[in-house]
Chains A and B, each alone.
Chain A
Amino acid sequence: MLQLNRRNFLKSAAATALLAGTGLPALAQGEKLKVGVIHMGAISDTGWEYFQAQAWRALQAEFPDQVEVTVLENIAQIQDCERLFRQLSTQGHQLIFGTTFSQYASLKKLAPTLPNSHFECCAGIDAGDNLGVFEGKHHEGTYLTGIAAGRMTKSNVLGWVGAFPVPQVIYSLNAFLLGARSVNPDVVLKVVWANAWVDPAKEKDAVAALVAQGADVISGSPNTPVQGLAAEEKGVWSIGSTGDFSAYVKKAQLVSFELDWSAAHIEAAKGVLAGTWEPTNRWRGLGDGGFVKMTTSSPDLPAEVAAEMATAEAAIIAGTLNPFAGPIKDQAGAEKVVAGAVLPDEEIKGMTWLVEGVQGTLPSA
């Protein structure tokens, strides 16, 4: 990784600004493809940004001699992101990654105006002019972890700590319960909203509240190992959702899945190197080249449950099992998906309702 400080950055920016041509020039022999990544948070946060960083690390490992990655982290203000996206482009970075949904609107606006670079945004909604987007099907991961939860619960009460009620979190927790109910129809899921992306202390309190209500398997949308540690303290199971926290949660982590964006970065770089890059809309779950990866499972997970999960995983990859296949009712008992149908992707991405068996409300927007 290039060591960047402001002075060097500005110097080289000025130099490359002079050299910048129009259109994507083909790389000269021996010249490296310059890739730029802007993180809005700190990479060390063990959560979202960390997995984004794992992706460009994988890209570097894949093309050690052909790719050079420039990384900027902790650019919290979107205005600064915009300025730096422009700067990276004028510096000759031909492939530039945004790491969060918060950068999507800016990139949508900027990408058409910066034809010297191609842009990719993680968690963006839709591909645009010169902008590709990629996002993981979190619900494929939570459906599988739900199977483990449904089998392991003794109280038939599961708990979910939600950050904010955005569609991504809503479809994750819905699929979690659907997975659990696929093996144990009596299970209910209690949901508590923390109303914060990162507030570890509040996450811990939310776990305590759920356990007090009888929940004995806790999952959620955490960005820290706190939920797992809190569950361990209370003597209940926790599930690593979008992150494997077994390094910290020594005993209580039942299973986990991770987000793996390596394929997104590597494919985009290959496209740019070959001159075939197109703005695409990649929404992938499990399987080869996918963005969702089942990681660890506890030694206490019975073999037959692991086998059940593996069977379901194979079926999801083969396309014979869809977590949102009907019949599915919402909390009020209204049929949302009829038997034999599956919920279209667009409706999953924009989900604003909870499935039957979820106990909790969506904070009114």
Chain B
Amino acid sequence: MSQFLPILLATLIAGTPLVYAALGELITERAGVLNMGVEGMMVTGAVVAFAVALTTGNLWLGVLAAMVAAGILSLLFSVLAITFRANQVAVGLAMTIFGTSLGSYLGKPFVGMALVLDPSQAAGGFAQLPLVGLIFSAIHPLVWLSWILFAAVWYFLSRTRAGLALRAVGESPTSAHAIGYPVVRIRYLATLFGGAMAGVAGAYMSTVYASLWTEGLIAGRGWIAVALVVFATWRPERCFAGAYLFGGATMAQLFAQSAGIGVPSELMSALPYLATIVVLVLISRDAALMRLSVPASLGKPFDPQG
């Protein structure tokens, strides 16, 4: 059982970027917008965060810069896909290609540089407090901030008026528009939030997880986040659990390999995608389930004049 704690810690570390990216994408999709640019936004966020954290020595400035950079990309996405009503899948894919290339370009001067941040610095003044300081040193603030994010997203969607409005926009933008909700503005805000969270996920990857930038750092985690939202059937609590399930699966197989337990590691690497396909098949078989889970207007452009 001495094996258990390192796996648990590693799972927390591996699941965290998925929590941010998937919860952000969940909000975007619940408003009826399908953003497939998460991977590209994560790459851009990772580079920008790394560059800023390296030059300023401050992690939080890096995270903030990543939110802004990925936010700009999602704004670009919104202009094309929401205002001009271009095909969301196509624009999303373009954003991934653009964001990945932009990241490679911006990251060139920083390749292979190691980022050494004082861990207590991330905690700011809290590190001085007795018990809190201990928690801060064991679990990175970005990890437990993702738990707070989960609680906030869950509360927002299920307990607030604004969350209800967002869901209404995702289910039936025409009705939401008729009763006076600003559909386009809500979709913009939801997409912007999703982009900013993808930025945080990228920032976590480059500044905390790997503490360096190199091409291929994100390695498809943005796509796993998109798959995770489907896997979770657009429910925050399943999304949260799924992030650790997918993160943990990778960890478990690495630990199993090193402990000499034979697992087909290639299969484990494909697990998130396989699991998503299974869930898709299951919910697609039943029209009632499908209606309950997928935001009805997902991926469909809305024309307020229409």
Instruction: List chain A positions with a Cβ less than 8 A from chain B.
Output: 41-42, 44-46, 74, 159, 190-202, 204-206, 208-210, 212-213, 215, 223-226, 229, 245, 247-249, 359-361, 363-364
B266 and A195 within 8 A (CB): yes
A225 and B212 within 8 A (CB): yes
Residues of A within 8 A of B130 (CB): none
In the complex, what's the smallest C-beta–C-beta distance from B138 to chain A, in angstroms? 15
Query: Any chain A CB within 8 A of the CB of B217?
Result: yes
Residues of A within 8 A of B10 (CB): 205, 208-209
In the complex, what's the smallest C-beta–C-beta distance from B43 to chain A, in angstroms? 13
A226 and B219 within 8 A (CB): no
B210 and A226 within 8 A (CB): yes
Query: Any chain A CB within 8 A of the CB of B51?
Result: no
Identify which of B31-39, B170-178, B255-263 touches chain A.
B255-263
A212 (CB) vs chain B CBs: closest residue:
B6
Top 3 closest A-B pairs, CB basis?
Answer: A198-B216, A46-B112, A209-B254
Q: A46-B112, A195-B265, A363-B265 are in contact. Are A190 and B258 (CB under 8 A)?
A: yes
Query: Any chain A CB within 8 A of the CB of B291?
Result: no
Query: Any chain A CB within 8 A of the CB of B162?
Result: no
A191 and B257 within 8 A (CB): yes
A248 and B216 within 8 A (CB): no
* Measured CA separation A205–B209 after assembly (Å): 9
B111 and A213 within 8 A (CB): no
Residues of A within 8 A of B260 (CB): 190, 359-360
B14 and A213 within 8 A (CB): no
Query: Any chain A CB within 8 A of the CB of B264?
Result: yes
Query: Any chain A CB within 8 A of the CB of B83?
Result: no
In the complex, what's the smallest C-beta–C-beta distance from A225 to chain B, in angstroms? 6
Q: A208-B10, A226-B210 are in contact. Are A201 and B219 (CB under 8 A)?
A: yes
Q: A190-B258, A229-B114 are in contact. Are A198 and B210 (CB under 8 A)?
A: no
Residues of B within 8 A of A225 (CB): 112, 114, 212
Q: Of B209, B215, B251, B254, which one neighbours A45 at CB under 8 angstroms? A: B215
B221 (CB) vs chain A CBs: closest residue:
A201
Residues of A within 8 A of B3 (CB): 212
B112 (CB) vs chain A CBs: closest residue:
A46
Q: A45-B111, A248-B212 are in contact. Are A205 and B250 (CB under 8 A)?
A: yes
Residues of A within 8 A of B112 (CB): 44, 46, 224-225, 245, 247-248
A45 and B219 within 8 A (CB): no
Q: Of A44, A202, A212, A223, which one neighbours B219 at CB under 8 angstroms? A: A202
- B contacts with A, residue count (CB < 8 A): 36
* Measured CA separation A251–B229 after assembly (Å): 42
In the complex, what's the smallest C-beta–C-beta distance from B47 to chain A, in angstroms? 12
Residues of B within 8 A of A204 (CB): 209-210
Query: Any chain A CB within 8 A of the CB of B54?
Result: no
* Measured CA separation A247–B58 after assembly (Å): 22
* Measured CA separation A42–B109 after assembly (Å): 12
B5 (CB) vs chain A CBs: closest residue:
A212
A209 and B210 within 8 A (CB): no
Digit string of B256-298 for contact with A (CB within 8 Å is 1, else 0)? 0111101011100100000000000000000000000000000
* Measured CA separation A198–B212 after assembly (Å): 13
B254 and A205 within 8 A (CB): yes
A-B contact pairs, 14 of them (CB 8 A): A194-B254, A198-B215, A198-B219, A199-B219, A200-B214, A200-B219, A201-B217, A201-B221, A208-B10, A226-B212, A247-B112, A248-B112, A360-B258, A363-B265
Query: Any chain A CB within 8 A of the CB of B205?
Result: yes
Residues of A within 8 A of B259 (CB): 213
Q: A195-B266, A209-B251 are in contact. Are A42 and B104 (CB under 8 A)?
A: yes
A226 (CB) vs chain B CBs: closest residue:
B210
* Measured CA separation A204–B219 after assembly (Å): 13
Residues of A within 8 A of B238 (CB): none
B254 and A46 within 8 A (CB): no
Digit string of B235-253 for contact with A (CB within 8 Å is 1, else 0)? 0000000000000001100
B215 and A248 within 8 A (CB): no
B211 (CB) vs chain A CBs: closest residue:
A229
A225 (CB) vs chain B CBs: closest residue:
B112
* Residues 77-124 of B at the A interface (beta carbon under 8 Å): 104, 108, 111-114
Residues of B within 8 A of A212 (CB): 3, 6-7, 255, 258
* Measured CA separation A361–B212 after assembly (Å): 30
Q: A205-B10, A205-B14, A363-B266 are in contact. Are A200 and B210 (CB under 8 A)?
A: yes
In the complex, what's the smallest C-beta–C-beta distance from A71 to chain B, in angstroms? 15
A209 and B257 within 8 A (CB): yes
* Measured CA separation A364–B215 after assembly (Å): 28
In the complex, what's the smallest C-beta–C-beta distance from B40 to chain A, in angstroms? 16
Q: A200-B210, A202-B219, A229-B114 are in contact. Are A210 and B258 (CB under 8 A)?
A: yes
Q: Of A41, A192, A245, A248, which one neighbours B258 at CB under 8 angstroms? A: A192
* Measured CA separation A364–B250 after assembly (Å): 18
In the complex, what's the smallest C-beta–C-beta distance from A76 to chain B, in angstroms? 11
Residues of B within 8 A of A249 (CB): 114
Residues of B within 8 A of A190 (CB): 258, 260
Digit string of B202-229 for contact with A (CB within 8 Å is 1, else 0)? 0001000111101111010100000000
Residues of B within 8 A of A159 (CB): 258
